Amino acid sequence: MRLGRGRRLVVLALVALATLPVVALAGPQDRTTYELTRHLVLYGSLSVEPGLFDRAVYDGRSYSDKPPGMSFLAVPAYELERAAGIARAPRDWAIEGDLSLWAIRVVTGGVLFLLMVLLVGVAGEALVPGAGAFAAATLGVGTLAASLAPTLFEHDAAASFSFAGFLLVWRGGGRTRALVLAGAALGVAVLFRYPAALIALAVLVYAVAAVGRRAGWLLLGLLPPAVALGAYDWAAFGSPFHLSYRYVANRYAERQHEGFFGIGVPTLDRLRDVLVVDRGLLVFSPVLLAAAAGLALAARRGYRREAVLAAVVALAFLWIDAGYFLPYGGSSPGPRFFTPALPFLALGLPFALERFPLTSIVLALASAALTTANSVTWSLRAENDRWYPGHGFSDLAKTIWVWLGLNRTYGAGILLLCALAAVAVSVPTWAWRRA
């Protein structure tokens, strides 16, 4: 038991070293999220600068077009940077990667990413003893969640809280406190990504099947985050039922108002983009095929409800991403809207490792290498550039090791070594023997 716990801690440290040191260039997402944080602290205002690309306009004033969760979460970190005298306005950020921005990214989205990795490890260990660390490592260095970790994109945060809510229902034994906390976690996830409401609904149905009427306690936990979101929307947009997406005012505004906030029926072309073209999920993370197969194995092993829930969540977010007019959401490492489903899909990894150890290990190592390559290049690519050499590969992003005297190539090499080591260390002895 102690050996397994120690392995998971080592894996968590390696995951952190493989993902968080990347200093991606600042993008529109950073500016709109950070500006709301800055205006909250400096002016006590919900409005932001009118010149931002990602913004919502209501009653002649500009607001962030994102859910408010990440901006509010960043307030303590921003206050600390102010006290230290290193807080900057976006116009003053270093062009090739800013250390003060990186620090805020890491203590907000980065910490929640590591929490998600830890929770997946706990869940994986409960499913297949000895395989929890592998599930955690593979999610942490071999999926899109890794590339998003050192950013202000909210997807990892939403995934972390959503998965925590599920875990509290699954492992909470139907206790009132666990159910209320689960509802709170699921509700907080929506403060980071509105589509996380679909996960909350799916987990509620799962809870009804698992604990019957006691699932009602979940609704009690959902209430405070719902009230908080309603209060924010009322203050910013004049109604507790008006989301920021309703008032998007950038070059995509017309498309955003088509369908359901830009989401329509998935097309084959967009499905290909999400899965197998350019920056598709399976291009960088072929190990997700093993995870999907593992869910089928989980259902046969007595975890049918959990497997069905994971599959429903994955399919729902695949629909959202393939139905959205911009599957990658602009400049990003890939189909980021799918990210909240990744920890649920990772529930299949322990069973895949048990049944197909060699295939699972090889796919995990390949995914770690490919994901690392994506992490250190995506922010330097033009929006529609492909990722491989000759198609916009360009330069490598800085890492924090640059400030310690190492060049970008060495920095990227450290990331790759840590990513591969995370997977290798995570594999239990019994899996190596069967491989």
Give 124-134 pLDDT, tens digit per residue: 999 999 999 99
pLDDT at residue 345 greater than cutoff 90: yes
Q: How confident is the model at residue 274 (pLDDT cuts 50, 70, 90)?
A: very high
Give 56-72 pLDDT, tens digit per residue: 999 999 999 999 999 99
Alpha carbons 373 and 367: distance in angstroms, whole number: 10
| DSSP designation for 340 | G
Q: How many residues does the chain have?
A: 435
pLDDT value of residue 386: 60
Give 318-344 pLDDT, tens digit per residue: 999 999 988 888 889 999 999 999 999
Lowest mean pLDDT among 91-100, 184-193, 235-244, 305-314: 91-100
Parent domain of 214: 2-434
Domain count, the chain: 1
Q: Residues of 212-242 as b/e, b for ≥16 C-beta within 10 angstroms?
A: eeebebbbebbeebbebbeebbeebbeeeeb
Averaged pLDDT, 286-295: 98
The residues near 283 (Cβ < 8 Å, ≥ 6 apart) are 276, 277, 370, 387
Q: Residue 73 half-sphere exposure, CB side, CA atoms within 13 Å? A: 23
Averaged pLDDT, 28-35: 93
* Range with top average pLDDT, 25-29, 134-138, 399-403: 134-138
Q: What's the pTM?
A: 0.95
